[in-house]
Structure 1
Amino acid sequence: MSDTQFLIGTFCRRPTLGNLGRQIRVRSNFFEVLALPTQNIIHYDVTITPDVPPALNRKIFGEFERISREGPLNGIRPVFDGRKNIFAPRSFPFGDTATFNVTLPEDETIPSKRTPRTFKIKIKKAGEIYMDELHRFLQGKHPMTSNCLTATMALDVLIRHLPSMRHVTVGRSFFTNAGAEPLFGGAEVWQGYYQSARPAQEKMLINVDLSATAFYESGPLIQMVTKILGRRNPDDLRRGFSDKDRIKLTPTPASQTMFDAGNGVTTDVADYFARQYGRRLSYSHLPCVTVQKNIYLPLEVCEVVEGQRHIRKLNEKQTADMIKFTCQSPHLRANKIKQGVDILNYRKNEYLKQFGLEVASEMIVIQARVLPVPTLQYHPSSREHSFQPREGSWNLRDKKVAQGAVLGSWAIVAFGSERDLPTQSIQAFIRELVITCQDNGMSIPNRTPPIMHTNSQGDIEGTLKTAWLHAGNAAKAQPQLIVCVLPNTGVPLYAEIKRVTDTVIGVASQCVQSRHMMQAKKQYCANLCLKINVKLGGMNSFISPSQIPFISDKPTILMGADISHPSPGEPSRPSIAALCASMDAKASRYSASIRVQTGRTEIIADLANMTKELLKTFYQTCGRKPERILFYRDGVSEGQFDQVLNGEIKAVRAACMSLEESYKPSITFVVVQKRHHTRFFPLDKRDSDRTGNCLPGTVIESGITHPYEFDFYLQSHAGLQGTSRPTHYHVLFDENTFTSDGLQALSYNLCYVYARCTRAVSLVPPVYYAHIVCRRARFHARDQHWSDTESGSEGDQGTASIFGVVKPELQRVMYFM
């Protein structure tokens, strides 16, 4: 295959490696594959009937392997993915197809009168995986083909096969109850170990990481029910159950739950257990579990079997406990990953041996660089107007925002009574907020905005419209801002405020928690200042133009796109797509476009018109058309790269040409990924921050990256707690001929101008803003019944909601901050 043919249809190839910054070495949670299978791998399709879940499929396959190893399999150790695929190191002796019957013994721990179950396993050869092609792909001499993808999948199945047969598995992770910690409400969190085969330059790697998920605690069901309902002990259940709590339970207690015991005799459950088993129920006043029609079991005789995954959404307390369990320092995480590799015990795995796969026992050590910190600019009148932040964070002391907004017409709405939220306390808070905002460069001629109290359960839309009128009348000017004091962190009130101010009135809003308002701390007011300033069209800070030449040399627009999907329990709800774009040469101001589209579709359906809108806004703001577009796209997995390349890049090009046929700005399209399991651990203490994480600006572009495509990992933020997750940038298309240094430094520098905090953030602001806009747009739907503790709603799942459109006067400012 010639080089020219090879380049067709492939993504952007990596330019020369960068050299900007200080060279360091880091450890990463990848383990090198020292030996790959030299022979081709044989792929078989398997069908198990009747159809059962993967966990039972594995038991059936395990029994088939046990009884067939010396017979039909002739000593071959095949591996199984739990569904449809078997991979073997050589062909089975029985030919291309065969059918076997397997009788699965009953689980001895659960007494049953049922006979052992018989299953039919049909095995059919699907093809052969040519390992030589994978070797050439790793060396950059061959494109990624379906054969290479299947080879990687086979290696994935191979390394997961044995843990999956021995442990509970969820996705690509297996879990063990060793060291399990209880969560509130009858759940517990188990430690898991994720593993995945990944191609890199001239080698395959195994990515091993920690994972965690919630399971139900094993033990008596009555104890579980007690914990779920938040009671102290089973005796407290005497108070009874509400209808909401009574899922799969009888409406009557065991002493009154009647059933047909045969021979025309009707009896209650409690009496039946006393006569049949000589067991007097201790809790005959409690309902029974409905197993099926006419079969009931008292709660106290039921046991919760170990290893059942908790699939309900965790509540706030459970989520907090889960975060405590998973938040581990880099040193501790690295040690636990090492423990996971010891559990996996690759060296003694008989399946790996037969395939000829060898895996190193130590994490890979790779080259990295720490990029130089950019110079941040504030207003020239600031005592410290130009400086380089240290370790990715700074504060607003002695600084004034680069361009302060003027706030003249505003109002305060307190959602609570005068007793709960005294006017005096609100006035004290306003004084502190005004002083802080003015110290930091904003101008607030009206220091005494009108204050009104209202009921948080009342007519929110009517209240906000009244506040808008009060603000306008008091200042004799168009209202700019409504500050809302909230009684709690609940979603419903916040969601309704944002729906009304964004889509009905068209005014910026700032929500404040009552507990923060009562304290009125200067730091909190400074954070509010950053948000209010950009909502009113101001600019907080910018990077020295000489450090972002790609943006400052020619008219350039940065775009960030994301899609937010409904949760799995809301199949009829739509997905929301957001596109954010920079509106100035400093890449500090952004505008947003939103679309509602069919649920769970990953490609942005109306991207062409969204792009067109923002290109027009850029022209109206700057007076020039952008000559270059740098497009960052979030939320795309590797399997969707082709779709994105063919669909979305064409949509951006079509948007440009719809404005003017000859208008063809150069486009660079970069996929941004945070959902991965790559972590970095500094080798030298001098190369780590206070939390033990890598320093902000650590970039890795070799050793664990794609064999030849243009991708890199960038850890742009300082760690706060736990182990920091770097961001993965993968360039799919590049007409701007970026060098490695050019794109890495630009992406890193942009992370310092995220408008609502004084820290470098973990991913580029255009994408961060798109993510926030997606989340905000969920609140623009009418007639939603938002739950207090969750971001989902409890409304009728079958009806499509009517989403409001953000008012034009807000679309050009960063109302979403």
Structure 2
Amino acid sequence: MSSALTNFVLRPEHGKIGTPIKVRSNFFEIQSFNQGIIHHYDVTIGDGKVPPAVNRKVWQKFEMVEGQSMLRNVRPVFDGRKNVFSPKALHFSGPEQVGQFEVELSDGGGESSSASRRRVSGKFVIRIKKVGEVNMLELSNFLQRKSQQTPGCLTAIQALDVLIRHVPSMTFDTVVGRSFYTPQDLRVLPNGAEVWSGVYSSARPGAGNMFLNVDVCATAFYESGPLPGMVAKILGRRSIDELRRGITDRDRAKLERFLKSVQIQVKHRGDKKFKYKITRLTPTPAERTFFKNQDDEEKSVSQYFTEQYNMRLSYAFLPCIVVRKDMFLPMEVCEIVPGQRFMKKLDEKQTAEMIKFTCQKPDIRANKTRQGLTMLQCKPENPYLKQFGVKVNPDMAIVQARVLPPPQVMYSQGFTPNDGAWNMRGKKLAKGASLGSWSVVNFHVGLARPSIERFIRELTQAFINVGLDVVKRDPPIMINADPQGNIDRTMKEAWLQAGNAAKANPQLIVCILPVRNTQLYGEIKNISDTVLGTPTQCLQSKHINSARFDYCANVCLKVNMKLGGMNKYLPANLTPFLAQRPTIVFGADVTHPAPGDVNRPSIAAVTASMDARATNYSSEIRVQSSRTEIITDLSDMVKEQLKKFYKNCGQKPDRILFYRDGVSEGQFQAVLTEEVQRIHAACASLDKTYKPKVTFVVVKKRHHARFFPVSKQDTDRSGNCQPGTVIDTKIVHPFEFDFYLQSHQGIQGTSRPTHYHVLYDENKFTADALQELSYRLCYIYGRATRAVSMVPPVYYAHLLAFRARFHRHGVNWSDTGATSETVESEQQLASYARVKPELQKVMYFM
């Protein structure tokens, strides 16, 4: 288990299985750093609530002018908030190690409104107080496996991080977290957004050395410019003239959601570019929005601007912007300030364009990563790095990797895939379910019935060819429905008609959707999952006329799993950990509401294997308080899954392998302490003597490690590492049990490996055993004919949590901007319906 070095699991040894190869990584070795003492100071600027961008401007001015008497050519670095690290002690005038200075910014530090300007008047008081010393030797000892990761060690890593980011933070105007963004090469997205590229940096401990992890990144910003033009884009109009007849209440509500809290500057006061935040829109256009002036005369906003500024409004038909409590501004005097991050969920069109922008082939991404290091100015002549004794290798670290062999995959017969992908031609399901009672609902009004009948014949034939047992060859019951109509009534009617025709409970309802329609899809899934208890399969109407075999076979894979069949499995000799003793494999994930949604709850999803082959999974969902990362009800969820396993297999599992997604490094200890204890508690609640051996592995995709094969012969067809590439040396943790595994074939862009980190291990896995098992499981993800990028139980937990969003009553799911600020959190929790028990036994969420 753990040791004096760590609360988690020590690396048992490095893996040996697989073909050795070399890869370049986007980690740059920090070849040297100060091994002595670094001085740590706490800094407060103004009232302590000044934004980081302004803090940095104040600090820059302080460093250049007011602070010279104290600094005396020492170059401390600042994180933009509270922390300053210095290579030498700073000279304070008094004995109490506290300094106070006043700095004046001529532009008021770019404050966002005249009210803010008056509050600070361009003058900032800086208070500097020493809080401690950082012994960098602690970090060296940690990297060399001589000591554990102490709080001092974490502060030393933080100091290096702040040092590396100090110069770019002062250079770039737009800093988001650990990334620096520039509008150079931006791309405009549909509907009022744009995407900027940037560079990410993070100081990371490795095996024996510190590394600088550099990556290219991109994020969405509000498109800047005159507000009326943005209004047309947000509402999907070709020009603002299309809105001259007025804006509907629905469009106005959409605009208000989009624009709320966006910063604008006004252009009707000459050179004075006052900035404000939008609070809301007026319900009336500028020509019919009235207010009383100082003489108590009632005037419209339009009239006021004509008299006061000699401005005849061209767009008086648009609503006004409201800033502060009761200040009305016509849209045409407003411009959206550049560099404001777009925090809302991107819509479908925006997402598609974003993917095009960010999708870069491995060789292009590698070059951009090197350019990113140049942007960070990690050169020998950087005076800050020089004073801290830091040197960064300008070349990417070359890391030893291995390519694991692909497993044999069993359908009705076995085969060994090439390059991690295959198709269903000539293959039959390992165990086809029986389909006797089903119906089809067509929600696409313009689709001809003969076309649908022809498609259903082709689909039925594909089902039979692939191995699904279609009991009746007669066409299923088919009904046409209005996508805008009563979906609840339609689905119940389809259920009844299917049941009556077959004289048996319906097993499946196939729904043909006109387009990708989140609202309609959500309603269908809500009713089928929580009311009918019958699986549904949604199809897009664009596939109906072609009826390609590959598409129909893919539908068959999903349907078979929803009906309790088994698509494929791995031979027992390839999964000894699963086959030798009763073993249950869990996947768990917590998904949180979108940014800005303050009350909507988080959803915890847990899946668990129900057979010795880890192919069929049952599911448990819980709704919990918003943004709670720990799974609150995990003990009960695990207990329910163990009971189902016992019912299915007739025995209790001796071993538990628990893959947990969505946990950041800072949460490892809390998750280990609370969730592992809840797993043990679940077992004890069934029987006090029941103590299966537990292994708990965190699965991470949200990281910035990328790998580029050194030799062309080690690439797949997309130029990425081959499926099965595993790395557990050099750029991993100095001594804990973690590894990177790229299990999938690259399709486009640069593949992202998955990071596995073992927090708890009573099963005493070797590195090879866990790496091979995790890789092999990626080949039996139920609805794909390829190896996937992470272990299936976690993938299933993702799908399950995503589906649970649709179990909420009375929601417009197509509205990506919707928030739930007005509803109490208890009501939010109560608004989710439970999935029917009969569906929890099958993989209805596929």
Is residue 2:387 matched to residue 1:389? no
Is residue 2:208 matched to residue 1:202? yes
The residue number in structure 2 matching 1:400 is 428
3-state DSSP of counterpart to 1:455: coil
The residue number in structure 2 matching 1:166 is 171
**8 Å Cα contact 1:784-1:794 kept in structure 2:** no
Q: Choose from 159, 179, 186 the match for 1:180.
A: 186
Which whole-Å CA distance do the structure 2 matches of 1:58 and 1:760 have between them? 47
**8 Å Cα contact 2:582-2:653 kept in structure 1:** yes
Deviation string 1:108-149 (CA, Å, 9 cap, x unpaired) is 999989795112221111111111111000011111111111
Q: Structure 1 residues 25-34 or 583-592, which shifts more?
A: 583-592
Which whole-Å CA distance do the structure 2 matches of 1:294 and 1:494 have between them? 41
**8 Å Cα contact 2:291-2:300 kept in structure 1:** yes
Q: State the Cα distance separating 1:721 from its structure 2 match.
A: 0.7
Is residue 2:57 matched to residue 1:28? no
**8 Å Cα contact 2:435-2:507 kept in structure 1:** yes
Which whole-Å CA distance do the structure 1 matches of 2:129 and 2:346 have between them? 42
1:308-319 residue pairs with structure 2 within 5 A? 308-319=340-351
Q: State the Cα distance separating 1:785 from its structure 2 match.
A: 2.5
The residue number in structure 2 matching 1:82 is 80
Pick closer, same or farther for the CA change 1:794–1:525 going to 2, 3 Å.
farther
Is residue 2:646 matched to residue 1:619? yes
Q: Structure 1 residues 332-341 or 507-516, which shifts more?
A: 507-516
The residue number in structure 2 matching 1:190 is 196
Is residue 2:17 matched to residue 1:11? no
Pick closer, same or farther for the CA change 1:352–1:68 going to 2, 3 Å.
farther
Q: Structure 1 residues 115-124 or 475-484, which shifts more?
A: 115-124
Which whole-Å CA distance do the structure 1 matches of 2:619 and 2:720 have between them? 34
Which whole-Å CA distance do the structure 2 matches of 1:813 and 1:592 have between them? 8
Pick closer, same or farther for the CA change 1:176–1:504 going to 2, 3 Å.
same
Q: State the Cα distance separating 1:538 from its structure 2 match.
A: 0.8
Is residue 2:103 matched to residue 1:70? no
The residue number in structure 2 matching 1:784 is 811
Which whole-Å CA distance do the structure 2 matches of 1:174 and 1:709 have between them? 31
Q: State the Cα distance separating 1:533 from its structure 2 match.
A: 0.8
Q: Structure 1 residues 291-300 or 525-534, which shifts more?
A: 291-300
Pick closer, same or farther for the CA change 1:165–1:374 going to 2, 3 Å.
same
Q: State the Cα distance separating 1:607 from its structure 2 match.
A: 1.2
Q: Choose from 118, 121, 142 the match for 2:123.
A: 118
**8 Å Cα contact 2:345-2:594 kept in structure 1:** no
Give the paired residue count.
806
Q: State the Cα distance separating 1:28 from its structure 2 match.
A: 0.5
Letter in 2 for 1:119: F
Letter in 1 for 2:802: R
Is residue 2:168 matched to residue 1:141? no
Is residue 2:469 matched to residue 1:443? yes
The residue number in structure 1 matching 2:59 is 61
Contiguous gaps of at least 5 residues in structure 2: 260-279
Q: Choose from 432, 438, 441 the match for 2:458.
A: 432
Q: Structure 1 residues 251-260 or 763-772, which shifts more?
A: 251-260
Pick closer, same or farther for the CA change 1:373–1:274 going to 2, 3 Å.
same
Q: State the Cα distance separating 1:236 from its structure 2 match.
A: 5.1
Which whole-Å CA distance do the structure 1 matches of 2:481 and 2:11 have between them? 59
Q: State the Cα distance separating 1:39 from its structure 2 match.
A: 2.4
Pick closer, same or farther for the CA change 1:273–1:660 going to 2, 3 Å.
closer
**8 Å Cα contact 1:787-1:794 kept in structure 2:** no
Which whole-Å CA distance do the structure 2 matches of 1:602 and 1:46 have between them? 31
**8 Å Cα contact 2:597-2:821 kept in structure 1:** no
The residue number in structure 1 matching 2:536 is 509
Q: State the Cα distance separating 1:188 from its structure 2 match.
A: 2.0
Is residue 2:64 matched to residue 1:37? no
Q: State the Cα distance separating 1:155 from its structure 2 match.
A: 1.3
Q: Structure 1 residues 729-738 or 246-255, which shifts more?
A: 246-255
Is residue 2:383 matched to residue 1:328? no
Is residue 2:747 matched to residue 1:720? yes
Pick closer, same or farther for the CA change 1:462–1:334 going to 2, 3 Å.
same
Deviation string 1:138-181 (CA, Å, 9 cap, x unpaired) is 01111111111111111111111221122110111011111111
1:482-501 residue pairs with structure 2 within 5 A? 482-501=509-528
Pick closer, same or farther for the CA change 1:498–1:107 going to 2, 3 Å.
same
Pick closer, same or farther for the CA change 1:256–1:780 going to 2, 3 Å.
closer
The residue number in structure 2 matching 1:345 is 377
Tell me the C-alpha RMSD between the 2 structures: 2.6
1:664-675 residue pairs with structure 2 within 5 A? 664-675=691-702
**8 Å Cα contact 2:596-2:819 kept in structure 1:** no
Deviation string 1:326-363 (CA, Å, 9 cap, x unpaired) is 01111111111111111222113222222111111111
3-state DSSP of counterpart to 2:366: helix
Q: Structure 1 residues 570-579 or 389-398, which shifts more?
A: 570-579
Which whole-Å CA distance do the structure 2 matches of 1:669 and 1:758 have between them? 28
Which whole-Å CA distance do the structure 1 matches of 2:623 and 2:317 have between them? 51
Which whole-Å CA distance do the structure 2 matches of 1:571 and 1:281 have between them? 38
Which whole-Å CA distance do the structure 2 matches of 1:481 and 1:258 have between them? 58
Q: Choose from 586, 604, 616 the match for 1:559.
A: 586
The residue number in structure 1 matching 2:106 is 105
Q: Structure 1 residues 667-676 or 174-183, which shifts more?
A: 174-183
3-state DSSP of counterpart to 1:484: strand
Which whole-Å CA distance do the structure 2 matches of 1:4 and 1:814 have between them? 36
1:227-238 residue pairs with structure 2 within 5 A? 227-233=233-239, 238=244
Give the TM-score taking structure 1 as reference length: 0.93
Which whole-Å CA distance do the structure 2 matches of 1:740 and 1:150 have between them? 30
Which whole-Å CA distance do the structure 2 matches of 1:624 and 1:258 have between them? 75
Letter in 2 for 1:37: N
The residue number in structure 2 matching 1:382 is none
Pick closer, same or farther for the CA change 1:622–1:435 going to 2, 3 Å.
same
**8 Å Cα contact 1:333-1:723 kept in structure 2:** yes
The residue number in structure 1 matching 2:440 is 412
Which whole-Å CA distance do the structure 2 matches of 1:88 and 1:412 have between them? 70
Is residue 2:844 matched to residue 1:815? yes
Is residue 2:831 matched to residue 1:802? yes
Is residue 2:449 matched to residue 1:423? yes
Which whole-Å CA distance do the structure 2 matches of 1:575 and 1:376 have between them? 36
Q: State the Cα distance separating 1:478 from its structure 2 match.
A: 2.5
Give the TM-score taking structure 2 as reference length: 0.90
3-state DSSP of counterpart to 1:559: strand
**8 Å Cα contact 1:13-1:710 kept in structure 2:** yes
Letter in 1 for 2:598: P
Deviation string 1:757-794 (CA, Å, 9 cap, x unpaired) is 10100000111111111111121222222225x39677
Which whole-Å CA distance do the structure 1 matches of 2:538 and 2:315 have between them? 49
Is residue 2:357 matched to residue 1:360? no
**8 Å Cα contact 2:423-2:550 kept in structure 1:** no
Which whole-Å CA distance do the structure 1 matches of 2:471 and 2:290 have between them? 76
Pick closer, same or farther for the CA change 1:507–1:69 going to 2, 3 Å.
same
The residue number in structure 1 matching 2:618 is 591
Q: State the Cα distance separating 1:278 from its structure 2 match.
A: 6.8
3-state DSSP of counterpart to 2:22: strand
Which whole-Å CA distance do the structure 1 matches of 2:512 and 2:244 have between them? 41
Which whole-Å CA distance do the structure 1 matches of 2:503 and 2:288 have between them? 72
Q: State the Cα distance separating 1:487 from its structure 2 match.
A: 2.1
**8 Å Cα contact 1:785-1:795 kept in structure 2:** no
Deviation string 1:429-456 (CA, Å, 9 cap, x unpaired) is 2111111111111110212221122222
Pick closer, same or farther for the CA change 1:814–1:253 going to 2, 3 Å.
closer
Which whole-Å CA distance do the structure 2 matches of 1:735 and 1:295 have between them? 64
Q: Structure 1 residues 181-190 or 691-700, which shifts more?
A: 181-190
Q: State the Cα distance separating 1:216 from its structure 2 match.
A: 3.0
Pick closer, same or farther for the CA change 1:242–1:165 going to 2, 3 Å.
farther
3-state DSSP of counterpart to 1:542: coil
Is residue 2:217 matched to residue 1:211? yes
Q: Structure 1 residues 569-578 or 556-565, which shifts more?
A: 569-578
Q: State the Cα distance separating 1:476 from its structure 2 match.
A: 2.0
Which whole-Å CA distance do the structure 2 matches of 1:778 and 1:210 have between them? 32
3-state DSSP of counterpart to 1:92: coil
